[in-house]
Amino acid sequence: MIAVNLMWDGTLDQRRTLAALAADQRVDFGIIIGPATDGRLASQRLGTLAILIDTAVGRREPDNTEVLVSLETARRITDASLVYVLDRRGVVVACTPYDGDKTLTGEDYSFRPYFREALAGQQSVYPALGVTTGVRGLYFSAALRTEENQPPVGVVVVKAGRSEGRLI
């Protein structure tokens, strides 16, 4: 188990993200088992957050503050290298920054299997070299849905990369 330090400001979306992750018994108030397991869990749980869905369908601006707080909280909890939201077309509409201030926002990943599988309603785990970052990782993705049994409106992705000396 690893401990996670968070910048906690108590926003509603942060609380919802933590509550969703804590619903799985492997998560206990900031203590998690490992990035590979948590990437799958996090992508699944994040797929139900209204702020991510609203951003994917365009009711919120790309990279709005609330969605970035939720994604960054999930990134820190899971020790992921990136967490991002793609709209139904496969274009990134929100992304945690990497390498300082770089972001994937605006990039089109509709060609990636993890996007196509999640949009088809399947959870996906896809090992690959990042086409933009150039960094290897495991991409965990899940559909964003407005209601159960409805077509996905987007996809959320958790990318696990280097973690505590391990290279994926």
Q: Is the pLDDT of residue 82 over 70?
A: yes
Q: What is the residue-averaged pLDDT of the chain?
A: 77
The answer to which of 47-51, 88-92, 137-141, 149-153 has the lowest mean pLDDT is: 47-51
Q: Which residues pair with 125 in a beta bridge?
A: 140
Quote the pTM value. Answer: 0.74
Q: Where are the alpha helices (DSSP H) in the chain?
A: 12-22, 35-46, 50-56, 65-78, 113-119
Predicted local confidence at residue 149, as pLDDT: 80
Nearest alpha-carbon partner for 137 in 167, 114, 101: 167
CB neighbour list of residue 80: distance below 8 Å, 6 or more residues apart: 35, 38, 39, 42, 74, 158, 159, 160, 161
Binned at pLDDT 50, 70 and 90, residue 79 comes out as confident
Q: What is the pLDDT of residues 101-145, one digit of tens each?
A: 999 999 999 999 999 999 998 888 899 999 999 999 999 999 999
Q: Is the pLDDT of residue 48 over 80?
A: no
Report, as an integer, the average pLDDT of 38-63.
Answer: 82
